[in-house]
Structure 1
Amino acid sequence: MSNLLNLEKVSKSYGVRPLLTDVSLGVGAGERIGIVGRNGDGKSTLLRIMTGEEPVDAGRVSRERGLLVGFLRQSDDFADTHTVREVVLRGMADHEWAADARLREIVDVLLAGVDLDRSVAGLSGGERRRCGLAALLLGEHDLIILDEPTNHLDVEAVAWLAAHLAARPSALVVVTHDRWFLDAVCQQTWEVHDGVVDAYEGGYAAFVLAKAERQRQAAASEVRRQNLVRKELAWLRRGAPARTSKPKFRIDAANQLIEDVPPPRDRLELQRFATQRLGKDVIDVEDVDFARGERVLLDHATWRLGPGDRVGIVGVNGAGKSSVLGLLAGELAPQHGKVRHGRTVVLQHLSQQVGFEDPEARVLATVESIRRVTKTADGEITATSMLERFGFTGDKLTARLGDLSGGERRRFQLLRLLLTEPNVLLLDEPTNDLDIETLNVLEDFLDGWPGTLVVVSHDRYFLERVTDSVWALLGDGQISMLPRGVDEYLERRSSEQQVARNERAASRDEVEQVPRPRDEVATHASKPDQRGVAQAPKAKPGSAEERTARKALARLDKQLERLAAREAELTEAIAAAATDPERLTELAAELAEVHEEKEAAELEWLEAAEVLE
């Protein structure tokens, strides 16, 4: 495996703070590497150094000659005067990208519902993100570098992106807090912390096990060192002629490391506390109709939330997930029906908007004004200790709220909400701008929290980690329970899309089979087709050419049926194997082959059909 890029003893500082110190690492051809670490520890800086956008203070960065690097930044640099077609397709005509199955899939998935001739200036943040990702993936690169690519993508798009990247031959370096994505795509994990970069084999799950084992070994080494020091001191004091033997320590395997760890939370115990605090009735949605503009989101929908329920909501962007949270919170009113709250409900709603009433207020003072001592599963802790758990230490304790970064604002918003001790929590995309360490803290807090929880999130790992059931908005006006969770949601979406494709294909066939006047047929035959190639001459009735063309159509119809069925099977298999990177790679490669074969068969079918017109 050839090395594409190398960092040799690289150091980088901002002011007096060192982000990287004597870091040496490399990226080989075809490697897929995930980068994790706390916000502000230098992940994005490392990416910019790798691409050459950021100079180093010391050390050397070398790249293979002629290396083609694609870089997705956290913010795009699109010119607002350009259209989506210009910034994404770079002037390619429709028939150029539509004729290539790989390019067509990228455009169909990432730009679904986006008008290609629309100005970039009018796009939402999520649409701009999809445009940037599509523009990058349409190109050919030896090395793809992505900075938070899953931001603003829904669960379905994240699953597609994971399968697509796993099937590409390009090397990949990605910074993301999406732990499911790391497991599905990456073969190695780099952790950036305290100026160094530690490398681990495997995705996020393997990284957690390996890190825990390293920490266990380090703790054992520290215990051994302290024991030796104590014995050395004792020997020096009594002047003994010999030292005692060293203790022996057994290194456990990773599976032994966690075999005695209890489940994250005791559901029965939490439900008992929730029932005591909340009572029997929490939130009842009864026969509700709700629409935004002309779009009907709920149609005579009924849904009940009980004490201790931990619910995740999924759906495509625009399905109405945030609106449902607004209804549950009482911030939005239905056009018909009722949303009832129990008498003991104390509800807090975390929206996607991050703002403060007083930007001049200080972090610690604001927290202490809400509550100085907070009850947790481990007992009571002070406001300062709670702030430290959420990453606010040192001078951050006295920082102005208006000076906090996006991630820090999100953390503070969450903390302030939890300090009010609600018994019903509605969280709308709570993982936005949070690093993995903060997510672990939040998950740990929620493990011991006994209230009713409703979460809307594109972060599949977080959703499955903190909730017990998954419900979906599938566009039918109802809130549907999915017994098998996100996997079932992806399968349903895949089936719906396949049905829609079949209906479009049937509609095209009906149009093509409508007989046209002879003069129109003659005119059409004299013109080149959309690909700029003169059409095949028409066969005479009863001729050998006609018989051959009919046989070809019958054969191709069966072949296309078989390929469509295989395509559906592979799509379902990819959704089911989302946590198995090796299997995912195999399936994605086979799906790409099926797409190519299907494209060739469709072109051959069209040529045969032209002969019979």
Structure 2
Amino acid sequence: MSLYTITGAQLAFGHVALLDHADFSLEAGERVGLIGRNGAGKSSLLKIVAELARPDDGLVTRQQHLSTVYVPQEPEFNADDTVFDAVAAGLTEARALLDEFDAVVHQLADTPEGAEHDALLARMNTLQSSLDAADAWNWSTRVATTLQQVGLNGEARVGSLSGGMQKRAALARALVVQPDGLLLDEPTNHLDFDGIRWLEDLLVSLRAGLLFITHDRAFLDRVATRIVELDRGRLLSYPGNFSAYQTRKAQQLEVERIENEKFDKLLAQEEVWIRKGVEARRTRSVGRIARLVQMRNDRAERRNVQGNVKLDVGQGEKSGKIVAELTDVTKRYGARAVVDRFTATVMRGDKIGFIGPNGAGKTTLLKLILGELAPDEGNVRIGTNLQVAYFDQMRAALDLEKSLADTISPGSEWVEVNGQKKHVMSYLGDFLFAPERARSPVKSLSGGERNRLLLARLFARPANVLVLDEPTNDLDIPTLELLEELLIDYDGTVLLVSHDRAFLDNVVTSVIASEGGGKWREYVGGFTDWQTQRDRSKQLALDAQKEAGKEAPKEAAPKESAAGRNAQRAVKLSFKEQRELEALPQKIAELEAEQKAIGAQLEDGSVFAKDAREGARLTERYAEIDEELMLALERWDELENRVR
């Protein structure tokens, strides 16, 4: 049985139908990625599932006692709370039950036998059952365990956390409830690459049913077992991850295009027939006329695929061959070196991605390259004839009270792009803004629509250097793909900061990555190439360290016979423990292999489509292996320490 089912749901915002007789279900253990255009109604659907909103019409059914937790894009906390208290807030109901139970127990002790005593006893039994069901007796331990799971210090103040760590706290507050269904709206917002990988591993191992909204294609590929697309009011389901969805969606759109062309051709023929002269009217069929009327209605009601954004960047004059040259550049804030002796040359036409954890200094390095910030040491030589368009600066300067038209072209009704004049209404139409919205204030736009407006403003200005700081936030997937195409074909220089791994892979030709301690290094290729090179370098360093470790004892330590080692071990371990220690490496290897095999099946996602119960069993087994591995590793460490 499904955890949650919606049948024939209808939801309208003004004259736009967000849900048009839509059907949806969520099975136990499956991970559903919800995608669709900005403004299509994804967040509204998520809130309906979370019971924070209701559809205008339709049937909603839930499993009895189903618990769901909703984590919004921007979680809210009291900045003065400790992280422990903020996470424990997820167990407010359980703690309230426990407080009431304690109060009833004390009251019962002071109440003589009689009707009131019996009523209190009955209430205590009811509360005890509820506490057992909610596993609320050890709520403090649950909070501490969850904090350890997500890597947070419970004593820290929430206000001192970065955006990424606050996102972790919000997830911890949800996970501590141990919900049947977890609902996430843009869970990767504010997370850096390590945070995103951590979240992927966490969600893949969860037993709960998962429904999440994201535009991160790599995240969808790794986590989703099913893709649900909200398209023109309908919910379309595609088994598998995002790559599988792309293939099937392309096939579906082609079939839809052919069917629409056939329909339109037949409608045109019928319109010609009805307009013929007297002879045709004498022989016209009542049934044929009725069919024509129905066809006209069907054509009027057809919701065509929404057009794509038309992106075209205003090309400035060519910059000099060298955009920037940095030699032994160092920048410090207090005692901390954000950039330490960095040397690089940025050439015209380079497309460079900047990679590093939050707070590593990506923005500082960008400003050094552009000459907006002076280094403490070293030299920066800026190239000639630079026309820089800076996405982040424009975002900060966005006036929420201004209209869309005034934001794009203040005091004029025309925009000039690549030497050609275009009316501002037409230009806004290229970015999917209807003419009637051109006079609307910016504050009326959604987050994704604001980013689209910012791109429109950015590309209306001639530039030969584009600096894009997190341009992909809140953009829907079709717009992301078009932005990728534009940047790939762009003749100028692109400096890009993004946590979208697929976007980096598709756009940049090299990356400058933080190595820690203010050290930065340039790698050829995109995000995946950097990851491969970095992992290879780490492995080589580990291998060298192991070799050095093997050689050192030979030189420094006196040789010890095998018999002597066995005698030492025999003294400290029983025969049974010795056998256990010898068997543990093999057991750990088998558990890791089993978990890897299960992980591959879960990531593929087809198991949920074929057999939902088997999918749920594998998800449960994946989590069990985590616990078994932890116990085995702890036991191995304990026995090894005793024989040292």
Report if TM-score (shorter chain) is over 0.5: yes
Q: Kindly indicate whether the alpha-carbon contact (under 8 Å) linking 1:182 and 1:204 is maintained by their aligned counterparts in 2.
A: yes
Matches of 1:473 and 1:201, distance apart in 2: 38
Equivalence for 2:112: none
Task: Find the residue that maps to 2:357 and give its secondary structure.
Answer: coil
What are the residue-to-residue correspondences of 1:134-173 with 2, within 5 Å?
134-173=172-211
Structure 2 CA distance for partners of 1:581 and 1:279, relative to 1, 3 Å: farther
Matches of 1:569 and 1:24, distance apart in 2: 36
1:206 equivalent to 2:244? Answer yes
Name the count of aligned residue pairs: 536
Equivalence for 1:524: none
Matches of 2:503 and 2:234, distance apart in 1: 27
Equivalence for 1:27: 26
Q: Partner letter of residue 464 of structure 1?
A: D
Q: How many angstroms does 1:40 deviate by?
A: 2.4
Equivalence for 1:471: 512
Task: Find the residue that maps to 1:487 and give its secondary structure.
Answer: helix
Q: Partner letter of residue 3 of structure 1?
A: S
Equivalence for 1:107: 150
Matches of 2:162 and 2:241, distance apart in 1: 32
Q: Kindly indicate whether the alpha-carbon contact (under 8 Å) linking 2:573 and 2:643 is maintained by their aligned counterparts in 1.
A: no
Q: Partner letter of residue 441 of structure 2?
A: R
Q: Which residue, 319, 322, 331 being the options, matches 1:290?
A: 331
Two-structure CA RMSD over aligned residues (Å) = 4.6
Deviations 1:230-260 (A, max 9, x none): 555667759899xxxxxxxxxxxxxxxxxxx
Which structure: greater helix fraction? 2
Q: Which residue, 447, 456, 475 being the options, matches 2:497?
A: 456
Matches of 1:4 and 1:349, distance apart in 2: 46
Task: Find the residue that maps to 2:178 and give its secondary structure.
Answer: coil
1:310 equivalent to 2:310? Answer no
Matches of 1:553 and 1:50, distance apart in 2: 54
Equivalence for 1:512: none
Deviations 1:520-568 (A, max 9, x none): xxxxxxxxxxxxxxxxxxxxxx999834259847974894699599979
Q: Partner letter of residue 472 of structure 1?
A: A
Q: Kindly indicate whether the alpha-carbon contact (under 8 Å) linking 2:572 and 2:643 is maintained by their aligned counterparts in 1.
A: no
Q: Partner letter of residue 469 of structure 2?
A: D
Q: Kindly indicate whether the alpha-carbon contact (under 8 Å) linking 1:389 and 1:441 is maintained by their aligned counterparts in 2.
A: no
Matches of 1:546 and 1:125, distance apart in 2: 53
What are the residue-to-residue correspondences of 1:242-281 with 2, within 5 Å?
277-281=318-322
Q: Partner letter of residue 177 of structure 1?
A: H
1:220 equivalent to 2:261? Answer no
Deviations 1:328-374 (A, max 9, x none): 23222211112222112111222278333654432213323498344
Equivalence for 1:604: 635
Q: Partner letter of residue 325 of structure 1?
A: L
Deviations 1:424-450 (A, max 9, x none): 111111112322243234334324321
Q: How many angstroms does 1:294 deviate by?
A: 2.7
Task: Find the residue that maps to 1:3 and give its secondary structure.
Answer: coil
Matches of 2:493 and 2:618, distance apart in 1: 39
Q: Kindly indicate whether the alpha-carbon contact (under 8 Å) linking 2:240 and 2:605 is maintained by their aligned counterparts in 1.
A: no
Matches of 2:641 and 2:247, distance apart in 1: 60
What are the residue-to-residue correspondences of 1:486-565 with 2, within 5 Å?
486-487=527-528, 489-490=530-531, 546-549=571-574, 552=577, 556=581, 559=584
Equivalence for 2:232: 194
Matches of 2:643 and 2:143, distance apart in 1: 28
Equivalence for 1:345: 386
TM-score (norm 2): 0.71
What are the residue-to-residue correspondences of 1:88-127 with 2, within 5 Å?
88=87, 106-108=149-151, 111=152, 115-127=153-165
The gaps in structure 1 that reach 5 residues or longer are 242-264, 504-541
Instruction: Give the percent of matched residue pairs that are identical in Structure 1 and Structure 2.
Output: 33
Q: Kindly indicate whether the alpha-carbon contact (under 8 Å) linking 1:183 and 1:203 is maintained by their aligned counterparts in 2.
A: yes
Matches of 2:594 and 2:537, distance apart in 1: 14
Q: Which residue, 294, 308, 320 being the options, matches 2:361?
A: 320
Of the structure 1 ranges 63-72 and 203-212, higher mean CA displacement relative to structure 2 is found in 203-212
Q: How many angstroms does 1:147 deviate by?
A: 0.7
Q: How many angstroms does 1:10 deviate by?
A: 1.8
Q: Kindly indicate whether the alpha-carbon contact (under 8 Å) linking 2:87 and 2:143 is maintained by their aligned counterparts in 1.
A: no
Q: Partner letter of residue 334 of structure 2?
A: G
Task: Find the residue that maps to 1:354 and give its secondary structure.
Answer: helix
Of the structure 1 ranges 292-301 and 226-235, higher mean CA displacement relative to structure 2 is found in 226-235
Of the structure 1 ranges 602-611 and 459-468, higher mean CA displacement relative to structure 2 is found in 602-611
Equivalence for 1:174: 212
Q: Kindly indicate whether the alpha-carbon contact (under 8 Å) linking 1:549 and 1:608 is maintained by their aligned counterparts in 2.
A: no
Q: Partner letter of residue 548 of structure 1?
A: L
Q: How many angstroms does 1:284 deviate by?
A: 1.4
Q: How many angstroms does 1:460 deviate by?
A: 1.1
Equivalence for 2:50: 51
Task: Find the residue that maps to 1:277 and give its secondary structure.
Answer: coil
Equivalence for 1:362: 403
Matches of 2:62 and 2:163, distance apart in 1: 33
Q: Partner letter of residue 28 of structure 2?
A: A
Task: Find the residue that maps to 1:433 and give its secondary structure.
Answer: coil
Q: Kindly indicate whether the alpha-carbon contact (under 8 Å) linking 1:376 and 1:449 is maintained by their aligned counterparts in 2.
A: no
Matches of 1:225 and 1:569, distance apart in 2: 53
Matches of 1:96 and 1:553, distance apart in 2: 35
Q: Partner letter of residue 140 of structure 1?
A: Q
Higher Cα radius of gyration: 2
Q: Partner letter of residue 106 of structure 1?
A: Q
Structure 2 CA distance for partners of 1:289 and 1:386, relative to 1, 3 Å: same
1:3 equivalent to 2:2? Answer yes
Q: Partner letter of residue 173 of structure 1?
A: L
TM-score (norm 1): 0.74
The gaps in structure 2 that reach 5 residues or longer are 92-137, 284-310, 546-566, 608-614
Equivalence for 1:68: 67
